[in-house]
A and B are shown apart, each in its own frame.
Chain A
Amino acid sequence: MYAIFLKEIRSFLGSLIGYIVMGVFLLLSGLFTWFIEGNNVFDLGMAGLPTLFGLAPYMLIFLVSAVTMRSLSEEKRLGTLETLTTRPVSDLGIIMGKYLAAVALIAISLIPTLFYAYSVAQLATPAGNIDYGALWGSYFGLILLSACYASIGLFASSTTDNQIVSLIISMVLSLFFFEVLSLMGDIEWLDRIGKSLEWFSLNFHYESISRGVLDTRDLLFFGSFAALFIALTKTQFESRKW
């Protein structure tokens, strides 16, 4: 598993796409947080990063899908799945190695945004007077959210040998579980069913954690969500044996 983890990290950091995807993410999040008129830090006049944490879930859908799109599909296309699975590693070991690498890469991409947090803390009066609970909660929420997106992305990647198809499946599924399910709660005629569906959306639990309150129910939800998609990936991965 460690060998695969290491290879994934290296191949991502060794490829141009990796830097482009990370660059685009940082550029957009930086622009929206500081420069684009309307909702930037100075317009809001508050010592916090609501714009960043409001937008990041959507940008992460793209970032995570781009990171995971080739993880299994490329192995399928090249045929290297055959050399990989005939080595002394279990199928779950291969999947987890790739999964953990994807989560680690996204965590790395998020690190530069800590600079925004530091800047905001310096701008606050008096300096450093910001809601650290909400800040760390939001970061933690983003990591958990990415972990869920990554499991979706890996699953999408296991269904096809085409990177672009994988990217699209992953983005559509992620958007569905983050946004569409959460909007169900707003549809009046769905009433209680809508509210229940909303509970199953990633957005519902992300918002809850962003407030800075760590609720075990949210943690459990994120954990089971990722586990479910990893299990689906494993099932899909083993379909070669049927």
Chain B
Amino acid sequence: MSIRVEKLAKRYSSQWAVDRISFDIPQGQIVGFLGPNGAGKSTTMKILTGYIPPTEGKAYMSGLDVEEQAVEVRRITGYLPEHNPLYLDMYIQEYLGFVARLNQIDSSKKAIEKAIDMTQLGKERHKKIGQLSKGYRQRVGLAQALIHDPKILILDEPTSGLDPNQVQEMRQVIKTLGQEKTVLLSTHIMQEVQAMCDRVIIIHQGQIVADGDIATLQSKQQQSFSVRLELDQACDLNKLLSIPGCQQADQVAPNTYLLRGQSADLRSRIADAAKAENWTVLEMRSETHSLEDVFRELTS
């Protein structure tokens, strides 16, 4: 296992920010760590990188204990903290040189070149970090995280605050990195997980509420089917409820209704009813659960 977390817990004064969570991540997986703000994502990441110790439990990176073998763990881990802190008055190359020296890299010039290459910083390399746009700063943050060629990357909200193009580029970079490294990234944006990750761990109030690959997670939640129906005029809800198999009917917009039922053939029954009642159907669409619904259901 690349990352192993066992009953990890962290208490801030009286509140449990992380409440005995456990998970395993095998080598080479990109895992999305999903949850609303304050769910305990950042705290878990800070513990994994050794910035703060856990109150209880254990965490291992490539088999190394994050508390007892902290220095060895740091050698194989790259970390991009939330808000991406950087020295604004340093030049990109100067900063990367500093980070390389901190990691005691022998061929630091080569490592800097490689990191600049991977994050496509070439054009801006001679600028001061303070002069860079947010997207480029984020790349510098990523470059410092991978300069020592770590086996594991911990990225805390790597795409927050970027414009759509930058988000796209950042995702591409992370995906490429994920081909050989284990990546744990946190986010509260669903599409991000769908776009990049092999697997998602949803955390809420310090506890894991879901863990699995995206498809399984979506189908697991899909216990009921819903159909969106738009008619040309208002219709009595009781009439809709009398359709066989329909368990729930709600008006969601003028002349538009959301019908829920247990089975998939609800649509054909609605069509039958429409024929019998002489309704004019403007639209009928079966709605699938998006990951967003899953997330909302689990964390509200």
Contact = CB atoms under 8 A, between A and B. Distances in A.
B87 A82 contact: no
B36 interface: no
A217 interface: no
A86 B75 contact: no
Contacts of B44: none
A37 B103 CA distance: 55
A87 B81 contact: no
B89 A88 contact: no
Interface string A1-45: 011101100110011000000000000000000000000000000
A191 to B, nearest CB: 47
Interface of A is mostly: helix
Contacts of A3: 98, 101-102
B298 to A, nearest CB: 29
A220 interface: no
Given A83-B144, A86-B79, A2 B86 contact: no
Contacts of A87: 74, 99, 102-103
Contact of B81 (A6, A79, A241): A79
B127 interface: no
Contact of B77 (A2, A14, A79, A86): A86
Interface string A109-152: 00000000000000000000000000000000000000000000
Contact of B87 (A78, A85, A88): A78
A14 B90 CA distance: 10
B51 interface: yes
B85 A79 contact: yes
B103 A88 contact: yes
Contacts of B51: 82, 85-86, 240
Contacts of B104: 88
Contacts of A86: 49-51, 74, 77, 79, 81
Given A2-B101, A3-B102, A80 B86 contact: yes
How extensive is the interface on chain B, given as a class?
A: 20 to 34
A90 interface: yes
A88 B75 contact: yes
B33 to A, nearest CB: 17
A240 to B, nearest CB: 7
B81 A88 contact: no
Contacts of B89: 11, 14-15
B52 A240 contact: yes
A205 B135 CA distance: 55
A96 to B, nearest CB: 14
A89 interface: yes
Interface in B73-103: 74-75, 77, 79, 81, 83, 85-90, 94, 98-99, 101-103
Contacts of B103: 87-88
Contacts of B85: 78-83
A166 B144 CA distance: 29
Nearest to A15: B89
Contacts of B74: 86-88
Contacts of B94: 10
Interface string B57-86: 000000000000001101101010101011
Contacts of B52: 240-241
Interface string B178-220: 0000000000000000000000000000000000000000000
A81 B81 CA distance: 10
Interface string B127-164: 00000000000000000100000000000000000000
Interface centre among B53, B85, B94 (most CB of A within 10 A): B85
B55 to A, nearest CB: 11
A82 B101 contact: no
Contacts of A89: 102
A132 B128 CA distance: 48
Interface in A151-186: none
B71 A6 contact: no
Interface of B: 46, 49-53, 71-72, 74-75, 77, 79, 81, 83, 85-90, 94, 98-99, 101-104, 144
25 contacts: A2-B101, A3-B98, A3-B101, A7-B98, A11-B89, A78-B85, A78-B87, A78-B88, A79-B81, A80-B86, A81-B85, A82-B51, A82-B81, A83-B79, A83-B144, A84-B102, A85-B51, A86-B51, A86-B77, A86-B79, A87-B102, A88-B102, A89-B102, A240-B51, A240-B52
Given A83-B99, A241-B53, 5 more contacts: A10-B94, A11-B89, A78-B85, A82-B46, A87-B103
